[in-house]
Chains A and B, each alone.
Chain A
């Protein structure tokens, strides 16, 4: 599904990622763990095509096609979703309106009939239950006045509505209380299937108590220094990162 080969990424002329190799097959869940500044968020931003994250070497392919020349919205339409670490507020833009615009953009891309307001409301309400979100959040402006946990649930709601094939969860566990963490984890577990993959980016292994990655990677100074199974996360929890540093 996603293949990253020898990826080098610069931000403001400074190399942050120095040769990343990563292969995520359909139905797999990978976790990337690392300390602040190790390049975790740079990796997710490079995959999603954010401005100022310049790929200087290497390639990223999604479903066997290079995505480096694609605009961020084209990558999203192709099936890559990112749950943001800090979801932004868009004042004055109704949350339902935003969500419908996103879902309809995808429907249009696939050549499907777009939702009208009434049908969409029904659709979104069914998804709302899965993240145990109150309907009142639909009426607010996008992420405006949402607590940390509510923002993350809103991200999860968007994921469920957009049905991506690859979901990147960028520090989804930060700012979450234990109940919200469980709800989000349940959502991820339920959503995952043979054709949908996850890339979970996290600092701690807290989230990994509730979801089971197939592969865990450790990122230090822009390089993956070790990959392993789920037990690697536990090892990191016990020993910290220093034993892996060269």
Chain B
């Protein structure tokens, strides 16, 4: 029986990454290498105000003095930062409408299941599409504008709304924060910008689809979301990349700011190319810094992530709960199959009174995948009556993978209530047999059991994407049966 199941594994391992195609498009790509000139070049391309260039340069100079972190529980070949191109854009710019978009690009997004044609769009979801270093299209802008909502590429925001950008850029994640955030601050090329004014409930889901296409390019996007008093927004990002033999670096920064009574819900479905399932060649290094500031009273920030792609993932979407009664949430499903590695989790920093945080993390390891949950809950002295609930569950499929958990708890106020639950289990032989005995084959049974295991997290995703996530799990689990 064991042998049979292993042969099923081997057979399914051969299934290929579905989004691995390359778009043949003429690009403006900067020669590899990083220097102050690179940064001048990017800033000039973007027609940025000079303060932003200065900020980038400060970050770059700081970065030169920093050391790449090595504490994370992952192994990868050293990155040669001079071998990466820091800017790549499809040629033909200055679009007046979506009709002028290169048909190859439209085709690419259609293949990814994201039509940019507004008539064909999924109902009520506005999309910003970022291709390599630039945003190529943002849909439903006019309609959003009528509600006072600003949704545009970061580059445009830097020109059109410099005051807001200047006020909030780096306010949650200073450029000095960490090695990769610092690099991003120096060379970021695009990303999404969202501003929800006072009292506005954003009338539709906002989403950004990131696509790396060019070889040897890194993607360094920067997203900034601000929700003013009594406003709310739900935002989703999705990511894919072609199959390439070399590793590509994705070092993004996402900053969220929620003022009094504001709610930001940020969901990620990350499906970057995970690398060759057998040799491990290629794949994306997903080194991302995400942090939200619950600045106002009763504000709420909720991170939901479904991480199935990338060769190596390193990210800890976090919440700083500064406002009294503010709430931070982290719901995560991370899957590592074949040779994938992930070190992911969250940080909840309680500063305000009566602040509450919830952490639900579901890790799935299959193949030779290695996965680490790393989470920190910090209750500061000022945080009277803070509460945290953490639940970290891991499931192992087969006997060649690993799951590791590193929870850090730091309580400096005696009135805090902390709950932590953790479990690690092999996918139940009894559950598999039960399904088999009802005629359900092992692959279907595994994906059913795993999806059930993830349900609490999937329930947090916007409806349309919960279905997508379920399907994605099935695809990513192919070849994992053991």
Please say whether chains A and B are actual partners in one complex: yes
**A residues at B contact (CB < 8 Å):** 48-52, 71-73, 76-77, 81-82, 84, 87-88, 90-93, 97-98, 101-102, 105-106, 109, 141, 158, 162
Nearest B residue to A109 by beta-carbon distance? B439
B431 contacts which of A81, A88, A97 (Cβ < 8 Å)?
A: A88
B436 at the interface (CB under 8 A from A): yes
Interface pair A87/B452, CB less than 8 Å apart? no
A72 to B453: give the CA distance in the assembly, Å. 23
Main secondary structure of the interface of B (DSSP, over half): helix
Interface pair B452/A158, CB less than 8 Å apart? no
- A73-B442, A81-B437, A93-B448 known; 4 new pairs, CB 8 Å cut-off, are A71-B442, A84-B437, A90-B448, A141-B452
Interface pair A92/B452, CB less than 8 Å apart? yes
Q: Contacts A88-B430, A105-B441; is A76 near B449 (CB within 8 Å)?
A: no
B284 at the interface (CB under 8 A from A): no
B391 to chain A, nearest CB (A): 12
A72 to B455: give the CA distance in the assembly, Å. 27
B205 at the interface (CB under 8 A from A): no
Q: Contacts A93-B448, A101-B444; is A51 near B2 (CB within 8 Å)?
A: yes
A135 to B265: give the CA distance in the assembly, Å. 34
B67 at the interface (CB under 8 A from A): no
B84 at the interface (CB under 8 A from A): no
B406 at the interface (CB under 8 A from A): no
Interface pair A72/B437, CB less than 8 Å apart? yes
Interface pair A48/B451, CB less than 8 Å apart? no
Interface pair B453/A91, CB less than 8 Å apart? yes
Interface pair B434/A88, CB less than 8 Å apart? yes
Nearest A residue to B438 by beta-carbon distance? A102
Interface pair B433/A72, CB less than 8 Å apart? yes
B4 at the interface (CB under 8 A from A): yes
B463 at the interface (CB under 8 A from A): no
A93 contacts which of B429, B441, B451 (Cβ < 8 Å)?
A: B451
Query: Can you spell out 30 A-B residue pairs with CB atoms less than 8 angstroms apart?
Result: A50-B433, A51-B429, A71-B436, A71-B441, A72-B433, A72-B437, A73-B436, A73-B440, A73-B441, A73-B442, A76-B437, A76-B439, A82-B437, A88-B428, A88-B430, A91-B452, A91-B453, A92-B451, A92-B454, A92-B455, A93-B448, A93-B449, A93-B451, A98-B448, A101-B438, A101-B440, A101-B448, A105-B438, A105-B439, A105-B440
Per-position 1/0 for B310-339, Cβ under 8 A of A: 000000000000000000000000000000
With a cutoff of 8 Å between Cβ atoms, the chain B residues found around residue A162 in the complex are: 438-439
B10 to chain A, nearest CB (A): 16
Most buried by A among B1, B436, B438: B438
A102 contacts which of B440, B452, B456 (Cβ < 8 Å)?
A: B440
Interface pair B428/A102, CB less than 8 Å apart? no
The 8 closest A-B pairs by CB, nearest first: A92-B452, A92-B455, A93-B452, A102-B438, A72-B436, A105-B439, A76-B439, A73-B436
Nearest B residue to A69 by beta-carbon distance? B4
B395 to chain A, nearest CB (A): 11
B433 contacts which of A51, A77, A81 (Cβ < 8 Å)?
A: A51
A154 to chain B, nearest CB (A): 11
B453 contacts which of A82, A92, A105 (Cβ < 8 Å)?
A: A92
With a cutoff of 8 Å between Cβ atoms, the chain B residues found around residue A141 in the complex are: 452
A53 to chain B, nearest CB (A): 9
With a cutoff of 8 Å between Cβ atoms, the chain A residues found around residue B438 in the complex are: 73, 76, 98, 101-102, 105, 158, 162
A50 to B431: give the CA distance in the assembly, Å. 12
B461 to chain A, nearest CB (A): 14
Interface pair A76/B452, CB less than 8 Å apart? no
With a cutoff of 8 Å between Cβ atoms, the chain B residues found around residue A71 in the complex are: 4, 436, 441-442
Interface pair A73/B456, CB less than 8 Å apart? no
A76 to B445: give the CA distance in the assembly, Å. 14
A76 to B438: give the CA distance in the assembly, Å. 6
A91 to B391: give the CA distance in the assembly, Å. 15
With a cutoff of 8 Å between Cβ atoms, the chain B residues found around residue A76 in the complex are: 436-439
Nearest A residue to B442 by beta-carbon distance? A73
A245 to B452: give the CA distance in the assembly, Å. 47
Most buried by B among A71, A77, A93, A105: A93
With a cutoff of 8 Å between Cβ atoms, the chain B residues found around residue A87 in the complex are: 434
With a cutoff of 8 Å between Cβ atoms, the chain B residues found around residue A82 in the complex are: 437
A84 to B431: give the CA distance in the assembly, Å. 12
Most buried by A among B433, B437, B451: B437
A-contacting residues, B392-411, CB 8 Å: none
With a cutoff of 8 Å between Cβ atoms, the chain B residues found around residue A158 in the complex are: 438
Nearest A residue to B5 by beta-carbon distance? A51
A48 to B432: give the CA distance in the assembly, Å. 13
A165 to chain B, nearest CB (A): 13
Nearest B residue to A72 by beta-carbon distance? B436
B443 to chain A, nearest CB (A): 10
Q: Contacts A87-B434, A90-B434; is A73 near B439 (CB within 8 Å)?
A: yes
A58 to B405: give the CA distance in the assembly, Å. 47
With a cutoff of 8 Å between Cβ atoms, the chain B residues found around residue A49 in the complex are: 436
With a cutoff of 8 Å between Cβ atoms, the chain A residues found around residue B428 in the complex are: 88
With a cutoff of 8 Å between Cβ atoms, the chain B residues found around residue A106 in the complex are: 439
Interface pair A84/B439, CB less than 8 Å apart? no
A141 to chain B, nearest CB (A): 7
B4 to chain A, nearest CB (A): 7
With a cutoff of 8 Å between Cβ atoms, the chain A residues found around residue B439 in the complex are: 73, 76-77, 102, 105-106, 109, 162
With a cutoff of 8 Å between Cβ atoms, the chain A residues found around residue B433 in the complex are: 50-51, 72
A77 to B455: give the CA distance in the assembly, Å. 28
Nearest B residue to A99 by beta-carbon distance? B438
Interface pair B440/A84, CB less than 8 Å apart? no
A171 to chain B, nearest CB (A): 15
Nearest A residue to B452 by beta-carbon distance? A92
With a cutoff of 8 Å between Cβ atoms, the chain B residues found around residue A51 in the complex are: 1-2, 429, 433
A97 to B444: give the CA distance in the assembly, Å. 12
Nearest B residue to A164 by beta-carbon distance? B439
With a cutoff of 8 Å between Cβ atoms, the chain A residues found around residue B455 in the complex are: 91-93
A51 to B428: give the CA distance in the assembly, Å. 12
Nearest B residue to A87 by beta-carbon distance? B434
Interface pair A90/B431, CB less than 8 Å apart? yes
B450 to chain A, nearest CB (A): 9
A48 to B437: give the CA distance in the assembly, Å. 7
With a cutoff of 8 Å between Cβ atoms, the chain B residues found around residue A48 in the complex are: 437
With a cutoff of 8 Å between Cβ atoms, the chain A residues found around residue B440 in the complex are: 73, 101-102, 105
A205 to chain B, nearest CB (A): 26
A159 to B430: give the CA distance in the assembly, Å. 19
